[in-house]
Structure 1
Amino acid sequence: MNAFSNRNFRFAVAVLMGMVIVASCETDLKEVDRIAAIQAEEPVDISQGVTVVYSDSAKVKAKMTAPEMRHYNVEEPYYEFQKGVTIIFFDDNGAELQRITSDYAIQKEVQELTEFRGNVVITRADGSIIKTEELIHDQKANTFYNHVAIEAYFKDGRGNFMGSSFQSDGNFENIEVQNSTGLYLFEDGQGPAFRQ
């Protein structure tokens, strides 16, 4: 290779390297633009390992824990728990009344509604368990309800039942079940009976 060819070769390599660097920068800039566009579309604050304590008159009423909480700062703001949530409710003495766990939850601030979805389990202090795939909490009325199947296993003598949907007060004391089928035990020891 003569000096002229060697210089042309170096120049060609330098031009190719420059093109690779420019292409690389353009890719990085496109990724930055893409992320910025997502953030502009979804103004969201993300918190990891969240614990929130709710109190009234210096008494803890409930404690919520979640691996992740997203707060969307939109016209009608809401909180989203894509990785699940657990809420524990306490009585005035600090003893656990019940807990709710689910795979997903969303709390709509304006409507004052919280929706739990996916493997929703309500566990009461007496060991009673209610299972469903959807649970909605109306914060204003302090009621719970749903529109899908429910299974309940009570330890207080009320028996076990299934239904197509239900409505309850905030303490799951007064539960109205639609289209219920259950197993009930007679108090006088006559044995089980099915009732619809």
Structure 2
Amino acid sequence: MIIFFDDKQKEDARITADYGIWKEQQKIVELRKNVIVINPKGETLKSDEVIWDMNKHRFYSNKMVTVVFSNGSTFYGDGFWSDEDLFPYNLNQARGNINVPEKEGF
């Protein structure tokens, strides 16, 4: 598990996975199997693999990803990339369902 903290030492985001590989020379962390990323907005990304490239300050994957947004909308992609803030997610070949709140009188 990797936990990120903000400037006030409050938990900001977390990543869990069955296992990870730290490539110290390249400054890359490979997270594999049941990877779950929860970003500061409470959005959840799931994949079989997420790479953290500390040189480029970026997270990415070329594997299938599922993102569940805080409003319940669900998107799928054939990979993604994001900066280290984990927001926004940029999905490859994005598709999904958007939850639109009902307005009164609609």
Aligned to 1:152: 67
Q: Which has the larger radius of gyration?
A: 1
TM-score, with length taken from structure 2: 0.87
Aligned length: 103
Tell me how far 1:158 sits from its aligned partner.
8.3
Aligned to 2:81: 167
Tell me how far 1:126 sits from its aligned partner.
4.0
Tell me how far 1:137 sits from its aligned partner.
0.4
Aligned to 2:27: 112
Aligned to 1:180: 94
Aligned to 1:103: 18
Matches within 5 A, 1:37-116: 86-116=1-31
What CA distance in whole angstroms lies between the structure 2 residues aligned with 1:89 and 1:151?
21
What CA distance in whole angstroms lies between the structure 2 residues aligned with 1:127 and 1:177?
17
TM-score, with length taken from structure 1: 0.49
Tell me how far 1:125 sits from its aligned partner.
4.3
Kindly indicate which of the two structures has a greater share of residues assigned to helix. 1
Computed over aligned residues only, the root mean square deviation of the Cα atoms, in angstroms, reads 1.7
Cα deviation, 1:130-180, whole Å, max 9, x if unaligned, reads 10000000001110000100001111x483201110011111112110111
1:139–1:158: structure 2 CA closer, same or farther, 3 Å change rule? farther
The SS at the match of 1:172 is coil
Which stretches of structure 1, 4 residues or more, deviate above 2 A after TM superposition? Answer: 124-127
The higher relative CO (CA closer than 8 Å, separation ≥ 6) is in 2
What CA distance in whole angstroms lies between the structure 2 residues aligned with 1:127 and 1:114?
22
Aligned to 1:6: none
Tell me how far 1:124 sits from its aligned partner.
2.8
Identity, in percent, stands at 33
What CA distance in whole angstroms lies between the structure 1 residues aligned with 2:36 and 2:12?
14
Cα deviation, 1:89-121, whole Å, max 9, x if unaligned, reads 010011111100111111111111110000001
